[in-house]
Amino acid sequence: MKIAVTGASGRMGRAVLAAVQAHPALELAGAVVRPGDRACGQDAAVLVGGEPTGVSVSAQAEEVIARCDILVDFTRPAASREYAEICARLGKGAVIGTTGFDSRDHARLQTLARQTRFVVAANMSVGVTLALHLLGIAARVLSDADIEILETHHRHKVDAPSGTALRLGEVAAQARGQALSDVAVYDRAGQTGPRVAGTIGFATIRAGEVVGEHRVYLALPSERLEIAHVADNRQVFAEGALRAAQFLRSAAPGLYDMQDVLGLR
Ligand code: NAD
């Protein structure tokens, strides 16, 4: 199966390139960067080291996507929007790991997924996918618990709370029959007053090179359950993305997430 990688010079792009190189059943079809990127025109090995790959880094997204089976995209919403439109036009599947989409983006992806198939997940790790599943159960059973979501990421991250933290919040809210937008609390400073029952609070830490840590508190007066996940390196996301790519190969048109990929529905 031929994989194209967008955002190839980014942290996740390079992790995905390395994972494709190491995978016996996958072939690199192309590596896409922004116009003007230093790597443009060079062999993709310039981004990951090792032997030459025979694939030149390119800024021509449409041309590269046309020769792949599945696109793996970890970039920014502005770029992912464009790549998703190309994939739908060409009937190519895509694994989209970019975070920071708004509700209009999600609606558009849903529409485009009638023409092709996408896996969209703010966190591609198997551990986080399981944590989401467990949280759904815990939030329903501990229906009175105060839910607080704490996330820590490296200093380069540009969106907050993380896409994963928001997804954890959505799953917890949905498990209680609520919409996250009705119960989320993103800011606390000054005279906040006591905690409002039923809300879901978020706290964000940005520091150093932390790859990604998420901790959900479900606190009752006499006990507290915590669901926590720590990513030690970016390989977990890259390997999850390639698992999603293999799932898409035989999937019907539609919009999927990692719960579908792992058969947790
Ligand atoms: P990064 O800044 O290292 O890389 C981003 C890449 O996107 C760069 O190569 C950049 O050139 C490219 N890019 C940015 N804007 C572009 C544009 N307009 N057109 C074309 N290319 C553009 O970031 P990163 O740490 O690799 O993260 C990338 C995305 O993946 C972020 O949204 C991050 O939150 C998300 N992420 C998701 C997961 C997951 O499991 N789903 C895991 C880690 C990171």
121 lines ligand 1 (CB under 6 A): yes
Q: Are strands 27-32 and 2-6 parallel, antiparallel or unpaired?
A: parallel
The sign of the dihedral angle between the CA atoms of 168, 84, 210, 126 is: positive
Locate the ligand 1 atom nearest the alpha carbon of residue 99 and give its number: 32
3-state secondary structure of 85: helix
76 lines ligand 1 (CB under 6 A): yes
The answer to whether residues 220 and 238 belong to one domain is no
Ligand 1 centroid to Cα of residue 123, in Å, is 13
pLDDT of residue 96: 98
**Mean pLDDT in runs of 10 for the chain (265 residues)?**
98 98 96 97 96 96 98 98 98 97 97 98 95 98 98 97 96 98 98 98 98 98 98 96 97 97 92
The answer to whether residues 131 and 108 belong to one domain is no
The answer to whether residues 70 and 42 belong to one domain is yes
The answer to whether residues 238 and 199 belong to one domain is no
The answer to whether residues 78 and 148 belong to one domain is no
238: containing domain:
2-124+234-261
The one-letter amino acid at 77: P
Q: What angle do CA 162, 163, 168 make, to 5 degrees?
A: 95
The answer to whether residues 104 and 130 belong to one domain is no
The answer to whether residues 96 and 15 belong to one domain is yes
Both tokens of 261, joined, read 């990929």
The answer to whether residues 119 and 212 belong to one domain is no
pLDDT of residue 265: 83
Locate the ligand 1 atom nearest the alpha carbon of residue 162 and give its number: 34
The candidate with the shortest Cα–Cα distance to 122, out of 80, 174, 91, 60, is: 80
The answer to whether residues 99 and 138 belong to one domain is no
pLDDT of residue 226: 98
Tally of structural domains, the chain: 2
- For residue 157, indicate whether it is catalytic: yes
| Mutational test site, ligand 1, from 6, 9, 12, 16, max ligand atoms within 8 Å of CB | 12
pLDDT of residue 38: 96
Which positions ≥6 away from 230 have C-beta within 8 Å? 212, 213
- For residue 153, indicate whether it is catalytic: yes
The answer to whether residues 11 and 115 belong to one domain is yes
Locate the ligand 1 atom nearest the alpha carbon of residue 123 and give its number: 40
The candidate with the shortest Cα–Cα distance to 62, out of 35, 39, 37, is: 35
**Residue whose token pair is 């986080």:** 128
The answer to whether residues 227 and 239 belong to one domain is no
pLDDT of residue 179: 98
Both tokens of 259, joined, read 């719960």
pLDDT of residue 10: 98
Whole-angstrom Cα Rg for the chain:
19
The answer to whether residues 10 and 103 belong to one domain is yes
Domain of residue 227, CATH code: 3.30.360.10
